[in-house]
Structures are given as C-alpha cells and as structure tokens.
Chains A and B, each alone.
Chain A
C-alpha cells in the first residue's frame, strides 16, 4: 500500500502528459521559394552579421511584422503578404544600422518587387567629395578672416 501511494503520483504525472504526446498536432514543414531578401553591409563592404532586423508591414508601421537576425553574410529573408511599402530596420546594437523601405507588389508574372532607395555611393567617392567640401569651406573662411585682418590693419593705420 505504502509502495502504491508513492508510485501513484508519478504515474498520474506521466499520464497527464501522455495525451499531448498522442494527440498533439503534427507540423508539416514545406519548402517555399521566393521571398524578399535584404543584404546589409557596412560601408567598408563587410557584411552586417548577426544584427537585429525588424520588419514593419504597410498595414501597421508601429507593431513589427517580424523580427530576426541577419546571417553571417548580413542577409535576411522575409515573405511580404501584402502590397505596399515595407520598412526594414537593422541595428547591430552598437549604434550602427539603418532603415530601408521596400515597395512590394505581388506581380503574377515575375518577381514583382522594386526597392525605393538610391544606390550606394562608394566610400572613396564620399571621402573625396567630403574633403573637397571641407577644403572649400576652409578656403572661404580663410579668405574672410584674412580680409577682416587686413581691414583691421588699415583701420589701425588711418
């Protein structure tokens, strides 16, 4: 008797989970094609690996449609279920990241997606144009300062 009273709770506990094992829903995993892929790279060309991705659907720009992490190549794939502008936000937790808007239109004939953003400017292009702007501004300031100095000198003379 004593033995049974010890074993009974254990048996009951096991039985409680048995129906779950027996009647639980099966899960079919199927392969699908397509989807919309993004690839994030730093401007050095290195992939933004394992960074947090948040996708917002056109219907709800506040509540994320999907969250995930880029793979080691900085890629992420999602399947838009409605036409419109989808927003993708990437953050690598160190303050680097960005936002991209993708206009998705389900086109029965083909891939049917176009992105709405301008092409990346090469890093060297940025460096050269930035330096040019800085030198330009420096030149203007130098000219203004030199003129002011000269004026001061002439005032002191007269």
Chain B
C-alpha cells in the first residue's frame, strides 16, 4: 500500500497531501499540549513496532505481497491521535530513509495508512468494543485495512495508473487476506496484553 513516486497524478497528490497535513497539524499541537513526558518512550516503542511491522511483507496469492500496518492496534492501545502520529512518523521515515513509498506521494500514503486506519479503525473498534472487545478489534482491523486499500485503489485509478475493474479487484482481494492477517495479529497481541498485563489497556487514550 506504499505508493511509490510517479504513480499518482498531481491533483491526487495535492488533495491527499492537503487532507494529511490538515489533520497532522492539529494532532501534533494537541498532543504537544496534553501529553505527559512518561508517555513518550511508550510512543517511541510503538513507532518502532509499526515501522518494523510495515517493512516485513508476506506474499499472498497472485504474486503480490502485503504487510501489517499496526495502526489500529496502536490506536486501540494509546488512542487515535497517538496512533495517527505514530503511524505517520513510521510512514514518513520509510519514505525518506529507504524509498519505501514515495516522497511526493507521502501525503497519500499517510492518508491511506495513518488517517484511515488510525481514525476509522478506532471508530469501528469503539462501535463494537463495548460488548465484544477482541471481535471488535478484529473487525476494526479488517475493515480499516480494506477501506484503506479501496482508497489506495481509487487514488491509483484516478491517476490512471491502474485500470478500474482489474485494479480494484486485485487490490481488494489482496487486502482481504492482509486485513484478516492484521485482525488476527491485533487480536493476538491484545489478547496477550489482556491476559498478562491488563493495566496496559487502561492507558489514557489520546
């Protein structure tokens, strides 16, 4: 889902970049005001986890490969704004250090990976979590990955990079598997935390 440079048209780059920047600025301001210093190492660790998870891709049928994003998991643990900032840092770092995802297309990648998954994923989780904590986490991860894939496909289609029908089908089928994998790992980690260190789930969600 890390779109490389040269794959998106200028209007798509500008509009997705605008969405990302307009959300990033208030997020950084709010976190800067409200966050306690003790929370920073935890966020750093989470960023390292997201960064690593996104670099480790595994192949799915049809020859393509997908990777975990970890954005929903972090949002559930630390809150949507923290999840968004952490995932954004990981995405930007990958683009600037290793060309994993383009630099001009960074706005689009931040929107697909960080905005949609951290915010939409957290919203989905909140819908279900009251009654079914782990199942809610699974569905939130699954649907946020799928929604992000659809957004990514639409951006590529609008840019004329991939054909409408075949592109959308390729994207969605690959990410059904990725979403299920993401959901499974999110549930596994949350389940483990719930059992071994339930206090971690009580951290203030910002």
Contacts and interface: CB of A to CB of B under 8 A. Distances in A.
Interface in A39-78: 42-44, 46-52, 72
Given A42-B57, A94-B64, A94-B170, A134 B89 contact: yes
B10 interface: no
A108 interface: no
Chain B interface size, as a band, is: 35 or more
B63 interface: yes
Given A46-B65, A93-B162, A133 B156 contact: no
A146 B174 CA distance: 44
B2 A130 contact: no
Contacts of A52: 162
B59 A95 contact: no
Given A43-B55, A44-B57, A89-B6, A96 B94 contact: no
A85 to B, nearest CB: 15
A97 interface: yes
A94 B48 contact: no
Given A48-B63, A91-B162, A138 B43 contact: yes
Interface string B1-45: 111111100000000000000000000000000011100110111
Given A96-B2, A130-B98, A149 B48 contact: no
21 contacts: A46-B59, A49-B63, A91-B162, A92-B63, A94-B64, A121-B98, A123-B55, A126-B55, A126-B98, A127-B55, A127-B56, A130-B48, A130-B52, A131-B48, A134-B47, A137-B44, A138-B41, A138-B45, A142-B37, A145-B36, A145-B37
Interface of A: 42-44, 46-52, 72, 89, 91-99, 121, 123, 126-127, 129-131, 133-135, 137-139, 141-142, 145-146, 148-149
Interface of B: 1-7, 35-37, 40-41, 43-45, 47-48, 51-52, 55-59, 62-66, 89-90, 93-94, 97-98, 100, 149, 152-153, 156, 161-162, 166-167, 170-171, 174-175
Given A92-B64, A123-B56, A148-B37, 20 more contacts: A42-B65, A43-B57, A44-B56, A47-B63, A91-B7, A91-B162, A94-B174, A95-B7, A96-B64, A99-B5, A129-B97, A130-B52, A130-B97, A130-B98, A134-B48, A134-B90, A135-B44, A137-B44, A142-B41, A145-B35
